Chain A
Amino acid sequence: GAVVSQHPSWVICKSGTSVKIECRSLDFQATTMFWYRQFPKQSLMLMATSNEGSKATYEQGVEKDKFLINHASLTLSTLTVTSAHPEDSSFYICSARFGTSYTGELFFGEGSRLTVL
C-alpha cells in the first residue's frame, strides 16, 4: 500500500510552547489529507480536512487558531499545536487520500504522541 510518514513520532513540550507535526505522502500525491486525534481506548476523531493550496476545513468544536493546518504541497501537510496545554496531550494521526476521487483509499501515518507538561 501507499506510504504516509509522520514526524515526530513522539514529542514532549512545556505548556505554552508550540509544536509542529509533519505528514508526508512518500510515494503518491495527496490532494486531500486529514488530521485525527485519538484518546486512549477510543476511536479516531476527525479534527480537520486539509486540501492542498486552500484553507483547512475544521470539524465542529475544533479551534482553528489552536490547531493550525497547512497543506502547502501535494505531499506535505503540517499541524501546529499553538500554545499547547496539558489537555492537548494526545495521539495525533494524519491520513492522506490516494487519488482525487472521494472514494480514494485513505492511508495513515504512524501517529505522533504529544505530551504537554
Chain B
Amino acid sequence: EDQVTQSPEALRLQEGESSSLNCSYTVSGLRGLFWYRQDPGKGPEFLFTLYSAGEEKEKERLKATLTKKESFLHITAPKPEDSATYLCAVNNQGGKLIFGQGTELSVKP
C-alpha cells in the first residue's frame, strides 16, 4: 500500500535556527515527490517536484532532497513568514497524489 509519513508532526524554531523536515515514503512506482506549503484556511501552494534519487532543488531558504526512501526539506535561517504546514506527497503509478499528514512549522522572532 502506498504510504507517506512525515516527521515531526510539529516543529518550533527560533528565527535563524536551521532545521530539516522528513518525508518517508513507500510507493509502487514513484512518479514524482511533491512538497507543498499550506497556510491556514488556504489551498496548498506548490514548492518542489523531485523525480529521482539524488535530485535536489532550492528556492530561497528551502532546499528539497530525495533518496529512494525519503525526502528532506531543509530550511536555512528561517523567518517567521516561513511558518506554515508543509505537506509532502507522492505521485503513484496510477497518477494519484498521496499526501502525508504534514509538519506544522512555527518560527518565532
Contact = CB atoms under 8 A, between A and B. Distances in A.
Contacts, number: 58
B64 to A, nearest CB: 14
B101 interface: yes
Contacts of A44: 44, 87, 99
Determine chain B's interface SS by DSSP, over half rule: loop
Contacts of A109: 43
B34 A111 contact: no
B78 interface: no
A117 B79 CA distance: 40
Contact of B34 (A1, A4, A105, A113): A105
| Interface range, A side | 20 to 34
A102 B87 contact: no
Nearest to A40: B40
Given A44-B87, A111-B43, A113-B41, A32 B101 contact: no
B96 A49 contact: yes
Nearest to A92: B43
B45 interface: yes
Given A43-B87, A43-B102, A106 B42 contact: no
Contacts of B91: 102-103, 106
A103 B34 CA distance: 10
A18 B32 CA distance: 36
Contacts of A77: none
Nearest to A94: B43
Contact of A46 (B36, B49, B51, B97): B97
Contacts of A1: 46
B99 A43 contact: yes
A88 B96 CA distance: 23
A34 interface: yes
Contacts of A106: 34, 46, 91, 97
Interface in B61-109: 87, 91, 93-102
A40 to B, nearest CB: 10
Interface of B: 31-32, 34, 36, 41-46, 49, 51, 87, 91, 93-102
